[in-house]
Each structure stands twice: as structure tokens, then as C-alpha cells.
């Protein structure tokens, strides 16, 4: 029966004609999902970097205020570690280094650096403050 063969071929064509758009739609949907997953993964990485930078800036600013208040000038150099909540902790994830110098005229200069554990400085500030009565305590 030649008519039965034509009907069978037409049936296969109609099934294939239906599956091709579905397969294309599924492939397009999977590509969109992959792009969205990459965007969210990159956003998480940028958020983590921003948190580290924000913490370093805040730690530098806090230490700068202490230097401006005249605290900590007894030591020429110091380092401290802090937790993410900015509490001092020897095992903290963030570090702050301060290098201080006093000139003969009482002008104190502090270079403050802060960063995350195992990394380089994310923020560096230089603070100058007049400290009368502490002239050239430990050299220039």
C-alpha cells in the first residue's frame, strides 16, 4: 500500500516539525540560564571584593582618628588584626599597619595601611598631626 507509506512519512515529518522548535526553545532556555548563573556568580565575587575594600577603608579611617587624637605615638611601628566586626583579634581576617614618624618641630606623620589576610594593602592613608611636647621622640 503506497498510501500507508506516505502517511507514515508524513507522520514522522510532523513529529520532527514539532520537536525542532521545542529543542530550539530548550537550548535557548539553557543558554539563558547559563548566562544568568554567570552574572550571579560574578556579582557574588564583586560583593566579596567590595566588603574587603570597605572594611579596609573603615579600619584605616578608625586608625587615622586614633592618630589624630594623639594615641599610639609611643611606638614607631605597629600592626593589629581585626575581625569582620572590627573587633581586635590576633586571628582576625583583616590587618592594619601603622608607621609613625615625628619631626623636630612636633609634626607627626603616620602612614596607615589595611588589607585582608594574606593580601596586599587595599587602602593606604597618610595622616599628619601636630603633637606639641613630643618633638623627635624616635627620630625622623
pLDDT for 85 equals: 81
pLDDT for 140 equals: 44
Q: Tell me the average pLDDT of the chain.
A: 85
Report if pTM > 0.85.
Answer: no
Asked if 115 and 94 count as a contact pair (C-beta separation under 8 A), the reply is yes
Q: Burial, 11: exposed, middle or buried (Cβ in 10 Å; 0-12, 13-18, 19+)?
A: exposed
Region 46-72 average pLDDT: 92
Region 2-25 average pLDDT: 69
Tell me the per-residue pLDDT of 60-75, one tens digit each, with 9 for 90 and over: 999 999 999 888 888 8
Q: Which helix (H) or strand (E) holds 30?
A: helix 2-68
pLDDT for 47 equals: 95
Asked if 110 and 126 count as a contact pair (C-beta separation under 8 A), the reply is yes
Alpha-carbon dihedral of residues 9, 14, 15, 17, nearest 10 degrees? 120
| C-alpha span between 112 and 108 (Å, rounded) | 13
Q: Which of 5-14, 54-63, 79-88, 128-137 has the highest mean pLDDT?
A: 54-63
Amino acid at each position: 500500500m503506497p498510501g500507508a507509506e506516505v502517511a507514515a512519512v508524513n507522520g514522522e515529518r510532523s513529529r520532527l516539525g514539532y520537536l525542532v522548535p521545542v529543542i530550539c526553545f530548550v537550548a535557548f532556555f539553557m543558554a539563558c540560564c547559563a548566562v544568568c548563573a554567570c552574572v550571579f556568580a560574578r556579582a557574588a565575587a564583586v560583593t566579596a571584593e567590595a566588603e574587603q575594600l570597605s572594611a579596609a577603608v573603615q579600619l584605616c579611617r578608625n586608625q587615622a582618628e586614633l592618630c589624630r587624637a594623639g594615641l599610639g605615638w609611643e611606638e614607631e611601628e605597629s600592626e593589629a588584626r581585626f575581625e569582620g566586626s572590627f573587633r581586635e583579634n590576633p586571628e582576625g581576617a583583616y590587618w592594619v599597619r601603622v608607621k609613625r614618624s615625628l619631626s623636630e618641630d612636633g609634626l607627626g606623620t603616620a602612614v596607615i595601611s589595611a588589607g585582608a589576610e594574606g593580601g596586599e594593602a587595599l587602602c593606604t592613608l597618610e595622616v599628619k598631626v601636630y603633637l606639641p611636647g613630643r618633638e623627635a621622640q624616635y627620630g625622623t
